[in-house]
Chains A and B, each alone.
Chain A
Amino acid sequence: MTALPMEIYFSVSMSILAIGFYILATKRNILRMLLGIELMITGANMTFVIISYWLGNGIVDPLVRSIVIISIGIASVIVAVAISLVIFVYRKFGTQDIRKLRELKW
């Protein structure tokens, strides 16, 4: 087991989630919000691993590793699609501020 108590690890990964959520709820730049989404996904992955380490007494379950690997793969795809959307939005509206993008196409 690790030297520090596991509760600290757990709170760190939860705070990563919270920071990611803070970015999404507060910041205006689209790319920064994309980073926030990535932070949240990484936070969730970390939480999986840390809890499995905690409950498995130092061994991380192979199923959890598989889940996290799939999640990492999905995160990369999310970024790919989101980047293409960001590029499209920039080309069409000329701005990176999501507070100016309030209307769907009618």
Chain B
Amino acid sequence: MISIDALIEILILIGIIASAIYVAEARPISRAVGGFVLFSVLVAILYLYLNCTYLAGAQIAIYTGAVVGLLLLGMSITRLEVPEEPQYRMSIKGLFSASLVAVITFSFIFFYFNYVPSVPADMLSQLIERTKFGLENLEGILADHLWKYRGLDIMMQAIIVIGVAAGLSHFFKKEKKR
């Protein structure tokens, strides 16, 4: 009756709306932020479904990564009373892990279209039918276009990601008693 494609689409769309409503109505803020994570991941999957692979990557990298990170930071700080006991001193380790995350995200953004399979196979066949360019050219043409004309945006977003990672790592330092 309903094809697999339609089922997947219905699930994605219902998931998007449900998580948006959950963001609006959840009582504790942390659960709302969690709902927002789910929301952005589902939106990224939707972008993938609509053949915008690069957008999906940007959506995941920035929303799920940077924005949620900032929100978690904001939540933690606005609940923070004056700390009684010292936090864990993780500054070197935090810096290292944060920079590792940054490097991976950076390389993901730069080189994804060569290493990561982007679309599921059946969707790919539909793409071959409708596209004027032919399979082996569509991705390359899009990527070339974006890299030539939008390279600066890519680099700016990578800098934002790195900056957020570095900033987050700062807050893992031990809060000394003053």
Contact = CB atoms under 8 A, between A and B. Distances in A.
Interface in A34-63: 34-36, 38-39, 42, 46, 49-50, 53, 57-60, 62
A23 B24 contact: yes
The binding surface of chain A is classed by DSSP as helix
Interface in B41-87: 43, 46-47, 49-52, 54-55, 58-59, 62-63, 66-67, 70-71, 73-75, 77-78
B62 A65 contact: no
B149 interface: yes
A69 B150 contact: yes
Interface of B: 3, 5-6, 9-10, 13, 16-17, 20-21, 23-24, 29, 32-33, 36, 39-40, 43, 46-47, 49-52, 54-55, 58-59, 62-63, 66-67, 70-71, 73-75, 77-78, 126-127, 130-131, 142, 145-146, 149-150, 153-154, 156-157, 160, 164
The binding surface of chain B is classed by DSSP as helix
A62 B33 contact: no
Contact of B54 (A8, A15, A35, A65): A65
B77 A90 contact: yes
Contacts of B33: 31, 35
Contacts of B73: 83
Interface in A15-43: 15-16, 19-20, 22-23, 27, 29, 31-32, 34-36, 38-39, 42
Contacts of B51: 53, 58-60
